[in-house]
Each structure stands twice: as structure tokens, then as C-alpha cells.
Amino acid sequence: MNTDIIGMTNMPEAKLAREASMAYATLALVTDFDSWHPTEEAVSADYAIKNLMKNAGNAQQVIKEAVALLAAEQPDSIAHTALAQALVTPVEAMSEDTKTRLSALLP
């Protein structure tokens, strides 16, 4: 099955997570198919909201289980060391001004 995800905030969030050396995943839950699926009928706002509320409960359960799994064992991810090669100049060779500007990235 070929699907596309419509999520206007995914890219900025993924880029910000990468800059912060954080692993990032999207949890996408469908509310309706009428906007793209050729065999689905148009849906009402009530239908979409009902699914949105159901999805909110599902998302809470997924997050609860994911946090428990991550608390038990944090998986290795290249995201956690994404900035390891980001700075070419050795820290000791940087000016104090540069160190201040890059303080969020420095160990």
C-alpha cells in the first residue's frame, strides 16, 4: 500500500530534533480518507472529530508504552551523536566569542 502523510510540522520538528541530537519519530493517526481515497465517501466534521478523539486516546496509550520501553532500554541512534562531526575547528582553537555563540552545541 502506498500512502502519503500530510503533516506540515514534521520537517521543522525533525530538523530541530536533529540539531538537538534527539531521536525523532512521527506518530500519524488517520481521522478520515475522503480527501484522497477514491472509494471513500465524504465525511462530516462529526465523523472526523469522533476519530480525532479516538486517536487521542490511542496516541496516549502508544506514548505511555513507548516511554516505558525507552525507560527500560534506550536504543542506540545515530541521532544522539548527530553533531559529533558538526564542528571542524577544535574547541580549544575557537575564540571566546565563537564559544559563546556555539555554547549550546559544545560539550
In angstroms, the Cα distances linking 11 to 15, 28, 34, 91, 94 are 6, 14, 24, 30, 31
What distance in Å separates the CA atoms of residue 86 and residue 19, rounded to the nearest whole number? 10
What distance in Å separates the CA atoms of residue 19 and residue 26, rounded to the nearest whole number? 17
Q: Hey, which residues are catalytic here?
A: 32, 34
Max Cα distance, the chain (Å): 64
